Amino acid sequence: MRRAVWLVLVGIVSVQVGAAFAKDLFDTISPTAIVWLRLATSALVLAALARPRLRGRTRSDWAVVVGFGLSLGLMNWAIYQSFARIPLGIAVTIEFIGPLTLAVLGSRRARDLVWVGLAALGVLLLGFEPADLTVAGMAFALLAGAAWAAYILLSARTGARWPGLDGLAVASLLATALLTVPAIVTGGETLLDGHVLLVGAMIGLLSSVIPYSCEMVALRTLPPSVFSILMSLEPAAAALAAIVVLDELLTPLQGVAIACVIAASVGATRSRPVHTEPAPD
């Protein structure tokens, strides 16, 4: 079990380091184009590994995987738009409200309202120091959180209908196709730059391929409840990655706000384990 815990932690750090490197590239290429490069890299790797079988699928199978792909693409696009406007750690903290809300809504315990209040307090504290925040940045983070919640719900249905990595591979290809035109329009000739392509591929590996691999192996032995609690460390990992890679320092009050959301997420997942498909953010 200890090995599984370390694999999850490696995946969490990898996701957020990849996000930090992506943000560092925003002065060179648009967030939409970077998201496309990330999704394209992971889609190619997953398709090569899974080799999904497309024949014999029902309309319901396709409806579910299309919804899954839409939520995957929207989640990644929205959070990168948020990164471009507000600090990385704060964006991920606000995004985390999505799966946290899903966990609380799935519970009928009155005490879970405490976790809602604690998360609300964290978001409220962020508002006391709005210098680094924009309405658009916060709105995109909330949209990413809503898409993340949809991703969690649809991943369960996709997994039930598509074996192995087939559903995730198809969804990744659909999400990539969805963003292809916007990426070309906003990225232009920069998408042909060798350095940008190399860094984009690296971001795809860090933010998708490595975390997926770590989480898949870890979930074979790790209880879902433990996995969910470990995933609650995402905002802290994002804040740390932003400090190291981007030199984005948080104020003490913003640190307390992030701690409130993390504590709320841990409390909610301890009360009721939630579905734990890997989430690429």
Contacts of 42 (CB under 8 A, 6+ apart): 172, 204, 207, 208, 209, 212, 280
**Residue 278: its pLDDT value, please?**
45
Given a contact cutoff of 8 angstroms between Cβ atoms, the answer to whether 262 and 233 are in contact is yes
Domain range summary for the chain, segments of one domain joined by +: 2-271
Residues in the chain: 281
pTM: 0.83
Given a contact cutoff of 8 angstroms between Cβ atoms, the answer to whether 99 and 148 are in contact is yes
Contacts of 123 (CB under 8 A, 6+ apart): 93, 94, 97, 257, 261
Given a contact cutoff of 8 angstroms between Cβ atoms, the answer to whether 176 and 39 are in contact is yes
What is the distance between the alpha carbons of residues 132 and 250, in angstroms, rounded to a whole number? 9
Amino acid at 212: Y
In tens digits, what is the pLDDT along the chain, a chain of 281 residues? Answer: 678 888 888 988 999 999 999 998 888 899 999 999 999 998 998 899 888 888 888 889 999 999 999 999 999 999 999 999 998 888 988 888 887 777 777 666 666 677 778 877 887 777 666 667 899 999 999 999 999 888 888 887 887 888 878 888 899 999 999 999 999 999 888 888 888 889 888 998 998 888 877 876 776 677 766 776 777 788 888 888 988 888 888 888 888 888 888 888 777 666 654 444 444 55
**Residue 108: its pLDDT value, please?**
64
Geometric angle at alpha carbon 232, from 265 and 226, rounded to 5°: 95
Backbone Cα Rg of the chain: 18
